[in-house]
Chains A and B, each alone.
Chain A
């Protein structure tokens, strides 16, 4: 978790059809344009990520992003509909790296269900604690209806929910989770605790360790509720 992958997989671009032709066909015009567009997209995302981190989402303008990425303001707008869409893409890319790591790690987690959940969230906080203000801006923006509903609100991120759900199902199978509780309800409670901690962290400037400590207690309390009666 200490190595945030610096190579975001750009698998989400509506601009890149899945069946992209092999670029080796020399001089094929659409391919060249495609590559060009892809390159612009990558540069905008990289520039935005840096600016958002240093000066915040609200404090960053599209114009600055364009200047930083060394592309024109116009080409930013032909690639992204809004600043919020750039933000969502930055967040999605970053989390993709995290989830790839989860896929590798979770099958090997040991201990009780509560302990496994604690590890999952601890990894999350360690990965994202530096960007907590950005996360808040991201959540706030999902309630902003002047923007098109382009992306997934953070708290409802399905991939994290799936990881937690798997963990709970495994607990049911192993007998430390009450088979009568509905996994999704536990997931929702955990997600509520999780996003709340970001807010707390941003306001009180807590680090990953402090965030993890609070989450550990909250998971303990929720675990009392899902243990077999």
Chain B
């Protein structure tokens, strides 16, 4: 949103009419809301720009004036969500007690975040695995933040002396993040409850920490 405002102002010079910038912002918000709904209902592949425009009550031209293409539109939705997800996870981590418990709280916050919007998570996986759009999504800063949050917990564990000095933090963080993601197929395709996801995540975390614990 901020970026949109700044761009609009730049394009129109210093005396940018705020009203126009505002209108543009509203248009973007309307398109994003419609797109979010359609991606949830029809998946990434099933939702077309034409449908999204119709649902937002505007022309396809107006959509393209604001977004380069469908993947641009989807990326913006994902990034908004990832930022919110990162905040939820960080908040959950505050209450953690020790590495294992903190990581479990982080994972659980993630599953809870998507519990009400699994179709969107499914669309995100579809895009995340695509050879063309995947790298951009996975490498985007808000996704990095999630991974860093995990690495941070490991580093703290080392500092506190809970984990050994040579805890292979980078590798372990990658594997933990991947274990976190690996449970989504169960949630998406087999309707696992939050409790089941949590139980599974707990044993994964405990397994992946085992070699680094100071005994």
Which of B17-25, B80-88, B129-137, B154-162 interfaces with chain A?
B129-137
8 A–B contact pairs at CB < 8 A? Answer: A140-B130, A143-B122, A146-B42, A182-B203, A188-B204, A189-B179, A196-B174, A199-B134
Q: Give every chain A residue within 8 A of B134 (Cβ-Cβ).
A: 136, 140, 199, 203
A58 at the binding interface (Cβ < 8 Å): yes
- A contacts with B: majority SS: helix
Which of chain A's residues have a CB closer than 8 A to the CB of B210? 224-225
A47 sits at the interface (CB 8 A): no
Whether the Cβ atoms of B207 and A181 lie closer than 8 Å is yes
Assembly CA distance A189 to B177 (angstroms): 11
Inter-chain CA distance A139–B131, complex, in Å, is 10
**Contact pick for B126, options A144, A191, A193, CB 8 Å:** A144
Chain A neighbourhood of B129, CB < 8 A: 136, 139-140, 143, 199
A34: min CB distance to chain B, Å: 34
* A139: B residues at CB distance < 8 A: 129
Q: Is B185 an interface residue (CB 8 A)?
A: yes
CB–CB B208/A222 < 8 A: yes
Identify which of B44, B123, B132 contacts A58 (C-beta below 8 A): B132
Establish whether residues B123 and A193, one from each chain, have CB atoms under 8 Å apart when the complex forms: no
Q: B175 to A218, Cβ gap below 8 A?
A: yes
B45 in the interface, Cβ–Cβ < 8 Å?
Answer: yes
Pair A192/B130 contact, Cβ less than 8 Å: no
Known pairs A156-B185, A185-B204, A186-B207; A133 contacts B131 (CB<8 A): yes
Q: How far is the CA of A15 from the CA of B82 in the complex (A)?
A: 45
Whole-angstrom distance between the alpha carbons of A4 and B181 in the complex?
A: 32
A140-B126, A192-B179, A218-B175 given; A146·B207 CB < 8 A = no
Apart from the given pairs A185-B204, A224-B210, 16 other A-B contacts in the complex at a CB distance below 8 Å: A58-B130, A58-B131, A140-B125, A143-B129, A144-B44, A144-B45, A145-B46, A146-B43, A156-B185, A181-B207, A185-B207, A188-B182, A221-B175, A222-B207, A225-B209, A225-B211
Complex alpha-carbon distance, A140 and B131, angstroms: 8
| A 214-226 binary contact with B (CB < 8 Å = 1; else 0) | 0001100110111
Is A143 within 8 A of B207, CB to CB? no
CB interface residues, A 19-57, toward B, < 8 Å: 56
A185 in contact with B45 (CB, 8 Å): no
Residues on A facing B (Cβ under 8 Å): 56, 58, 133, 136-137, 139-141, 143-147, 153, 155-156, 181-182, 185-186, 188-189, 191-193, 196, 199, 202-203, 217-218, 221-222, 224-226
CA distance A34 to B179 in the complex (A): 46
Docked Cα-Cα span, A202 to B179, in Å, equals 20
Q: Is the CB of A193 within 8 A of B43?
A: no
Query: Is B178's beta carbon under 8 Å from chain A?
Result: yes
Cβ-defined contact, B45 with A146, below 8 A: yes
Instruction: Kindly supply a per-residue 1/0 record for chain B positions 186-215, scoring 1 wherever the CB is within 8 Å of any chain A CB and 0 otherwise.
Output: 001000000000001001101111111000
Is the beta-carbon distance between B44 and A203 smaller than 8 angstroms?
no
Choose from B44, B132, B207 the contact partner of A225 (Cβ within 8 Å).
B207
Q: Which residues of A contact B127 (CB under 8 A)?
A: 140
Bound complex: CA A202 to CA B130 (Å):
10
Write out the residue numbers on chain B whose beta carbons fall within 8 Å of the beta carbon of A203.
134-135, 138
Q: Does B171 contact A (CB under 8 A)?
A: yes
Contact call B131/A145, Cβ cutoff below 8 A:
no
Check if B181 sits within 8 Å of A192, measured CB to CB. yes
Residues of A within 8 A of B122 (CB): 143, 145
In the complex, what residues of B have CB within 8 A of residue A217's CB?
A: 171
A183 to chain B, nearest CB (A): 12
B44-61: contact bitstring with A at CB < 8 Å (1 yes, 0 no)?
111000000000000000
B168 at the interface (CB under 8 A from A): yes
* B185 pairs with A153, CB closer than 8 A: yes
B-side contacts of A188, CB under 8 Å: 182, 200, 204
Please give the distance in Å from B114's CB to the nearest CB on chain A. 14
CA distance A185 to B170 in the complex (A): 22
Determine which of B131, B206, B212 lies in contact with A137 in the assembled complex, contact meaning CB atoms within 8 Å.
B131
**Does B172 touch A at the CB level, under 8 Å?**
yes
